[in-house]
Amino acid sequence: MVIDYSVTPPTEEFLLNPSYLTDYMRIYRRRGNQLGDAKQWSPESFIELLNEEGVEIAVIKARDIETTHKKKIGNEACIKLIEKYPNRFIGMAGVDPFKGKAAIKELEYAIKNLGLKGVNLWPYEYNLYPDDKKYYPIYEKCAELDAIVSIETSMHFDRSVRMDVCRPLYIDSVAVDFPNLKIVGSTPGWPWVAELMGVAWRHPHVYVATSVVRPKYLGNPNSGYSTLIQFGNSILQDRIIFGSGWPMLPMKRGIDEINMLPLKDEVKEKWLYRNAAKLFGLL
């Protein structure tokens, strides 16, 4: 079985058309061809794709960046798919830290009433470092509700925002202030991979998702990911979770490449399924 932590459903509700990210479009434009025209997709055809790719459960994420970019993937978009296929999807809410009490109210409703499992935050889209106090009411509510916080922790390509706004070192401050908060650093922190692994080693509730990184490169010498393989195969083997980043990268190819990595067989199973299943309370 496989849980994919990072999948964007190919429906119009989930497409932000991020014209503000011109450098992302320049760098990743060829990878989006798997998506095609969103109008041609249906929930049923998406399930067929998951079956073909070998993914049992896909984690889908809402996103609220209305204050900074006037764009939003509503929490209801996740619920529409989850209600139709409750055993195939897990949803993460999107809230805007600039909206203050309204964001907290929306988050609480999404978790307690809609059944979403946490919140999805991309710091560069808010131009707020992960330890900025504007996030703290969100963290506090997630800690209170035993919900998960997913935070982008890699280099980004929005050149209007400082590169280090997603640096994983700032998650350390959050984990210190909220020691029981479940945090997923996604993706694995390049060029700060060792730093992210250090944060995860320090804090037992910090996880690392491999989203949008081709797994075959993780094992390459001098790729910068050696600490992920080293510690992900040993002391942190229970806290690495697989995410393809589809449609940026193919799901099945990512799964196949995880299985080709120099990892113990039981560790491969943990990365692909068991760690995420435990994180989301399925085991």
Residue 240 host element (H or E): strand 240-241
**Phi, psi at residue 201, to the nearest 5°?**
-65, -40
Read off the tokens for 234.
């040993």
Closest CA to 73 of 83, 84, 60, 56: 60
180 and 202 Cβ atoms separated by less than 8 Å: no
In the 8-state DSSP scheme, what is residue 246?
A: B
- pLDDT truncated to tens, each residue of the chain (283 aa)? 999 999 999 888 887 766 556 665 565 555 444 555 555 788 999 999 999 999 999 999 999 999 999 999 999 999 999 999 999 999 999 999 999 999 999 999 999 999 999 999 999 999 999 999 999 999 999 999 999 999 999 988 888 899 999 999 999 999 999 999 999 999 888 899 999 999 999 999 999 999 988 899 898 888 899 999 999 999 999 999 999 999 888 999 999 999 999 999 999 999 999 999 999 999 9
Domain with 206 in it: what CATH number?
Answer: 3.20.20.140
Instruction: Record the pTM.
Output: 0.94
Structural domains in the chain (count): 1
Residue 51's CB is within 10 A of a number of other CB atoms, namely: 11
For residues 247 and 32, is the Cβ–Cβ distance under 8 A?
yes
Rounded CA separation 132/123 (Å): 10
Residue ranges making up the domain that contains 245: 3-279
Give the span between the Cα atoms of 268 and 149, in whole angstroms: 24
Q: Strand runs (DSSP E) across 20-138, as ranges?
A: 57-61, 63-65, 71-73, 89-92, 118-121
